[in-house]
Structure 1
């Protein structure tokens, strides 16, 4: 599907601009994610999970394996900050794009993050599951994950194996995006829903966490997967789609809170008909927001990282730090309202604080 391929094109163009600008300077700046806005110190851990009961949909002779990163607040952070990507993942992602100049292989592995190591402050935190865009590594949502953890959430970004340009496992194996050749977005959505269900089964077996409420937030096809998960898994009580085409468009009512947030192309009667078709089937609390000055990858880390080389993403005049602030605050407001039962005036309509955000429907 053409819209699916656009997610890969957005990543390609963003990285191409990043790398081509890097080579134009003698000493590229140290990439860094913005500081989390919440008051709590944060920690992280990585999980390697194997579903022995399920064949991998993309490599059927293998069992389904996942890598996930888990962030959470901690009272006792220690050690060094987490790597954004491993050196092997950085190398594979940067070398995938043959039309860009050379940059240091470890450019994306030396990006500064903020989570260290340490025990969670509680074992009963609300949990947010993150699903990245097609071909994107799970790290692409690290800035959002760190911010939510600093506000008191446990956050898990799932690396859907063979759907990212690069995923490294603890034994050094590196898998690439086999799904990119298949061009089957509905299969991706079904697979991700199964991945999330398996992850939620395994979380209490492999960590001390026992989530009291769960939401899912996805970018691009990860957003479509969030809707699918809400249909199939009663443990997940709310969801957000960040600029993702619904694959397929909803044809059954979704009776749990759901918010769709996108670029100006995702306005009513815009270029993505799946949003108009799906909207009537969101029958619980719902919001449809667009953010002016954004492009498809604005809701990921790529906006800020590319700007640190003095450029922005294509079709994105809005400053990357501003898009990050908007994304963080609206996502956190949604989660506070629906996982913590704390009413959020920010979600009730337009505000002078964020004039870039248009409310299309309530």
Structure 2
């Protein structure tokens, strides 16, 4: 006969903490590192559409028509510190799609919704004068969407940043088209968004961001192909081999040594976060191209990344940015999905491919999200705001042999024994 389970004295008097009415992506787990916590500011969110006219339509270029032009419409999601009206609360429903582009019957475009912790169209909250909020521009994977990293975008806005995430035309799950468009347009889209926000931020512009944003303190955040784009923006000029990937020479605008490319460097960009950036494992960049980056950079990747590569991919990029102060946060045992939100329920219901477009086999996505929030908060706090957060980045290495030991408790901000599976490397600029 099985013995009855008897609770210790006083145990029944303790009531479990009530579960939140709604669980939002980015909410802190009990083991979340310190800086993952949401900031003190309410968050507003708005959707904006901009149009970049007279751009090369590389997908329709040919020998007989080498320079077709078109306008690129970019849908943006803008998160910002907000001022809530009486009765207004931070709750929004985002609409995204599953799938791998139009015309794919195996993975059709299927809309789904998920909840966010932001107030739709809330009034902006001015920063304490004379300060303004630094700008963070976010670039998704291929395919992906502007909503792919809402756990991070909302979190940063609550800490005093204006965050603008881009739907890159011809590169989202809804409108995926040929890869040359992504290779050409990612850097150009990023810079066009920066120029657009700078105009909006001017006093008297009439835009809701007027007087709110400090574009002289801008960071670029890119995932996968977004990582490729942001590295090119800050000086990683493409190799001649990479330019030859696309017939017609359209990629020469991003080539190292091209005066047009060299003149495009924008000094307002003070920091880069590159999640699993694509391109290191191929011939996209030679050593001289990587040496062109001088912007502080935080790389985040899994050491089992089978899309961007690790030793021959992200690690090579990290080591090759010899003139930039840079960090590499590695998730041991993780593959490529170290950046996105957790798999939505709709993805799990749609089958393995849709689920694995978000999930990590050996890691809990919510755990990854919290760790990303922590390190990105520290890195951008130091590089954009001059906050005293460097000690969160100056961490002791893990023991030789690759196993986590008791010294992981010395990782500032991490609960004891919770830094297992992680490695943070730092290389200063030469």
More helix by share: 1
* Aligned partners of 1:51 and 1:198 also within 8 Å: no
Deviation at 1:187, TM superposition (A): 2.0
1:62 aligns with 2:60: no
Task: Write out aligned runs for 1:135-174 (5 A).
Answer: 135-166=143-174
Corresponding residue number in structure 2 for 1:346: 392
Residue by residue, what CA displacement relative to the aligned partner does 1:177-204 show, whole Å, maximum 9, x if unpaired?
22xx245654244434444444444443
Deviation at 1:229, TM superposition (A): 2.1
In the alignment, structure 2 segments of 5+ residues that lack a partner are: 1-21, 28-36, 61-67, 236-264, 397-407
Deviation at 1:118, TM superposition (A): 1.6
For the residue of structure 2 that corresponds to 1:360, the secondary structure is: strand
**Which structure is richer in relative contact order (CA contacts within 8 A, separation 6 or more)?**
1
Deviation at 1:150, TM superposition (A): 1.3
Corresponding residue number in structure 2 for 1:279: 319
Task: Write out aligned runs for 1:46-61 (5 A).
Answer: 46-58=47-59, 60-61=68-69
Distance 2:98 2:227 in 1: 27
Corresponding residue number in structure 2 for 1:27: none
Distance 1:308 1:229 in 2: 35
Among 115, 118, 127, which residue is 1:112 paired with?
115
Distance 2:93 2:158 in 1: 18
In the superposition, the TM-score normalised over structure 1's length comes to: 0.75
Corresponding residue number in structure 2 for 1:357: 422
Distance 1:307 1:293 in 2: 22
Among 222, 238, 241, which residue is 2:226 paired with?
222
Deviation at 1:125, TM superposition (A): 0.6
Corresponding residue number in structure 2 for 1:25: none
In the superposition, the TM-score normalised over structure 2's length comes to: 0.64
In the alignment, structure 1 segments of 5+ residues that lack a partner are: 1-29, 167-175
For the residue of structure 1 that corresponds to 2:372, the secondary structure is: helix
Distance 1:94 1:182 in 2: 12
* Aligned partners of 1:294 and 1:323 also within 8 Å: no
* Aligned partners of 1:125 and 1:154 also within 8 Å: yes
Task: Write out aligned runs for 1:1-362 (5 A).
Answer: 32-35=24-27, 37-58=38-59, 60-76=68-84, 78=88, 81-85=91-95, 90=97, 98-99=105-106, 105-106=110-111, 108-109=112-113, 111-116=114-119, 117-122=121-126, 124-166=132-174, 176-178=175-177, 181-183=178-180, 186-204=183-201, 205=205, 206=207, 207-208=209-210, 209-211=212-214, 213-231=217-235, 232-246=265-279, 248-249=284-285, 250-265=289-304, 270-273=310-313, 275-276=315-316, 279-303=319-343, 313=356, 315-344=360-389, 345-350=391-396, 351-352=408-409, 353=414, 354-362=419-427
CA 1:320–1:270 in 2, change beyond 3 Å: closer, same or farther? Answer: closer
Distance 1:154 1:69 in 2: 11
For the residue of structure 1 that corresponds to 2:124, the secondary structure is: coil
How many residues are matched? 314
CA 1:293–1:361 in 2, change beyond 3 Å: closer, same or farther? Answer: same
